[in-house]
């Protein structure tokens, strides 16, 4: 999401797969490592790519202490976690907006067409978001 706008939607895969595995299989980690200087706000399950991409993938802070953490550490960790969460909420809202399209909430078609459906809706959503940002006097 750039300013709340959908930038990329990966192809679907059958079955369950971790996000990070899917990103590596698609070559996104390599693309980010050598590509433009963008910041990707990821969830906690994507801890590895931060170092592999030169800090372009930003995840919530990792807990250094599992037990008996000092009070100052707990406070600092909670502040950093909430700061990341506050920035990432726009990403989560974008994902929710995509999932709320009726064609995806009640997908009754064949699974081999699901990828085409997701890509078409992502394109429509991106176009809709772009159109919403163009002032009326420029059309």
Per-domain boundaries in the chain: 16-59, 61-128
What is the value of pTM for the model shown? 0.66
Comparing CA positions, the residue from 132, 118, 134, 102 lying closest to residue 8 is 118
Under 8 Å between Cβ of 121 and 101: yes
- Classify the C-alpha dihedral 109-111-116-121 as positive or negative: positive
- Tell me the average pLDDT of the chain: 78
Q: What pLDDT digit, counting tens, does each position of 77-134 carry?
A: 999 999 999 988 888 887 888 878 777 776 666 667 777 888 888 888 777 766 655 5
């Amino acid at each position: 999401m750039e300013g709340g706008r959908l930038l990329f939607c990966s192809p679907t895969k059958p079955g369950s797969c971790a996000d990070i595995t899917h990103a590596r299989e698609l070559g996104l980690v390599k693309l980010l490592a050598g590509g433009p200087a963008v910041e990707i706000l990821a969830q906690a399950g994507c801890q590895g790519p931060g170092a592999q991409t030169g800090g372009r993938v930003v995840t919530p802070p990792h807990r250094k202490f599992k037990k008996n953490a000092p009070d100052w550490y707990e406070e600092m960790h909670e502040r950093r976690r909430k700061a990341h969460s506050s920035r990432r909420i726009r990403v989560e809202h974008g994902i929710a907006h995509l999932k709320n399209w009726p064609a995806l909430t009640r997908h009754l078609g064949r699974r081999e067409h699901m990828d085409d459906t997701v890509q078409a809706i992502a394109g429509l959503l991106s176009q809709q978001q772009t159109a919403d940002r163009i002032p009326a006097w420029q059309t």
